[in-house]
């Protein structure tokens, strides 16, 4: 069967679908992380239906700061079928049918597997030797994958955050101008604070992280946009400043 969409093996040794491969096959115009954030709102559960995968990317504004950038997501075949159907495009229908055929093939393979005739001593001995060999190979493979699984768990628990400077750059404006806008709109507290008001933290638009400043010998609270907050501030800033040339892929709401 033609391999339309990339599949990967998760730490649980299960075959799952690469969400970014599905995004590419479906020819989605919206940037992957924004598209995927909208797709999970259809009722999918993290840890059951999907796991986010992140890469560390150095901040252009603060060289010593690394941002967690969504690089892919491991999604189940059921979730992949639903996402393909949602698109309502020829590619979406073809992808859905491909997933269904993959499941049918897997079911047929399970049905043809038969137990050996254990009443025959030779066959029983051969089956025992084969089973032991497979178990030893599986244990060796698990030992090899264990460190990778640990890294997978660590990056899956991270949150996709962006610094205010990074978002300002994507908006085509400066950091000071964006701070001025947010203070005028009473989104963040008056200068010199850079912390948003509680209602915007509760809305999930921001996360505040405490970063140690060695030169000053103290900790400093720094605000970051979540993926949800990035979309929200982009729309809000664009409405207030219609002449600003906002990056189209950030505000594109089409699948």
| pTM across the whole model | 0.41
Same domain, yes or no, for 189 and 106? no
Distance between start and end Cα atoms, the chain: 28
Share of the chain above pLDDT 90, in %: 20
Answer whether residue 156 is part of any domain: no
Same domain, yes or no, for 20 and 104? yes
Answer whether residue 15 is part of any domain: yes
- Indicate if the pLDDT at residue 209 is higher than 90: no
pLDDT single digits (tens) 239-253 = 874 444 444 444 444
Rounded Cα distance, 105 and 195, in Å: 54
pLDDT single digits (tens) 149-181 = 444 444 333 457 888 989 999 888 889 999 999
The residue ranking higher by pLDDT, 52 or 128, is 52
What lies within 8 Å, CB to CB, of 113 at 6+ separation is: none
Answer whether residue 149 is part of any domain: no
- Number of folded domains in the chain? 2
- C-alpha dist (Å) from residue 152 to 6, 36, 130: 18, 19, 31
Round the average pLDDT of the chain to a whole number and report it.
Answer: 77
Please state the separation of Cα 247 from the chain's center in Å. 21
Answer whether residue 102 is part of any domain: yes
> Is the separation of the CB atoms in 17 and 34 below 8 Å?
no
pLDDT of residue 158: 43
Answer whether residue 146 is part of any domain: no
Instruction: Report the greatest alpha carbon distance in the chain.
Output: 84
In the sheet with 161-163, reading across from the earlier edge strand, the strands are: 161-163, 218-226, 206-213
Q: What range does the domain containing 109 cover?
A: 7-113
pLDDT category of residue 217 using cuts at 50, 70 and 90: low
CATH number at residue 229: 1.10.10
pLDDT of residue 58: 65
pLDDT single digits (tens) 82-134 = 999 888 889 989 988 888 888 787 666 555 545 556 666 666 667 667 777 77
pLDDT single digits (tens) 67-96 = 677 888 899 989 999 999 888 889 989 988
Label residues 223-236 b or e (16+ Cβ within 10 Å = b): bbbbbbbbbbbbee
Answer whether residue 122 is part of any domain: no
What lies within 8 Å, CB to CB, of 26 at 6+ separation is: 83, 84, 87, 89, 91, 92, 95
Lowest mean pLDDT among 6-15, 20-29, 73-82, 214-223: 214-223
Answer whether residue 125 is part of any domain: no
pLDDT of residue 67: 65
Same domain, yes or no, for 109 and 188? no
Same domain, yes or no, for 50 and 106? yes
Lowest mean pLDDT among 54-63, 108-117, 180-189, 202-211: 108-117
Q: Where are the alpha helices (DSSP H) in the chain?
A: 19-25, 32-39, 77-87, 90-112, 121-156, 164-171, 175-184, 198-202, 227-240, 248-251
pLDDT of residue 28: 92
């Amino acid at each position: 069967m033609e391999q339309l969409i990339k599949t990967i093996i998760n730490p649980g040794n299960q075959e799952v679908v690469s969400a970014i491969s599905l995004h590419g096959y479906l020819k989605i115009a919206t940037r992957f992380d924004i598209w995927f954030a909208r797709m999970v709102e259809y009722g999918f559960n993290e840890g059951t239906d999907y796991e986010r995968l992140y890469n560390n990317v150095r901040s252009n504004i603060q060289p010593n700061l690394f941002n967690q950038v969504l690089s892919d997501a491991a999604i189940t075949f059921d979730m992949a079928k639903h996402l393909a159907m949602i698109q309502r495009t020829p590619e979406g229908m073809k992808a859905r049918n491909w997933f269904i055929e993959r499941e049918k093939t897997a079911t047929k393979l399970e049905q043809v597997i038969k137990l050996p005739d254990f009443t025959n001593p030779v066959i029983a001995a051969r089956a025992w030797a084969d089973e032991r060999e497979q178990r030893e190979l599986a244990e060796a493979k698990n030992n090899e994958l264990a460190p990778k699984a640990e890294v997978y768990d660590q990056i899956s628990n991270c949150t996709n955050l962006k610094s205010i400077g990074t978002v300002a750059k994507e908006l085509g404006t400066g950091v000071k101008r964006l701070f001025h806008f947010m203070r005028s709109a009473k989104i963040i507290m008056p200068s010199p604070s850079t912390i948003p008001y509680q209602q915007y933290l509760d809305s999930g638009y921001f996360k505040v992280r405490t970063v140690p400043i060695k030169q000053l010998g103290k900790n400093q609270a720094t605000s970051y946009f979540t993926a949800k907050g990035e979309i929200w501030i982009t729309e809000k800033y664009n409405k207030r400043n219609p002449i600003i040339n906002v990056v189209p892929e950030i505000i594109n709401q089409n699948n």
